[in-house]
Amino acid sequence: MAIKTFAVTTYEVGMGYKNSANWSGVNILIQGHVVCNSADGYRFIVYGLHPSSPIPGPVYIEANKVGAIFIPFVELHNYIDLVRNEKPIYVYLNSSSPNWNSLRTSAEPVGEQEGI
């Protein structure tokens, strides 16, 4: 079992229409993605998939330093909002339980108002 937690140092957002890729033997159609990068070369990718795309299960490939989750494209804005408006942001990756792969904030004070 491999577990990796890292602080997101940079991120990238990409948008397209039915860009094809293969993950874990499943051909997917990507409309957008968010890539969260660490200082030591790890990546967490959130793929927003076209409505006609199959949705594979999440993965963490330790040897490649990459984890991914696959969600409907209409939910991708939630992840973009998180990386744009929160700091610090952390990624949790787990090879034994990839369903736990996630993007998180740290503890924040109650009632904090962003941007004020």
Distance between CA atoms of residues 93 and 67, nearest Å: 6
Tens of each residue's pLDDT in the chain, 116 residues: 788 989 999 999 999 888 898 888 889 999 999 999 999 999 999 999 999 999 999 999 999 999 999 999 999 999 999 999 888 999 999 888 888 898 998 777 776 666 55
Report pTM.
0.89
Would you kindly state where each structural domain of the chain is located, as residue ranges?
A: 3-105
Helices (H), the chain: 76-85
Question: What is the length of the chain?
Answer: 116
Would you state the structure tokens that stand for residue 51, as one six-digit string? 């409505």
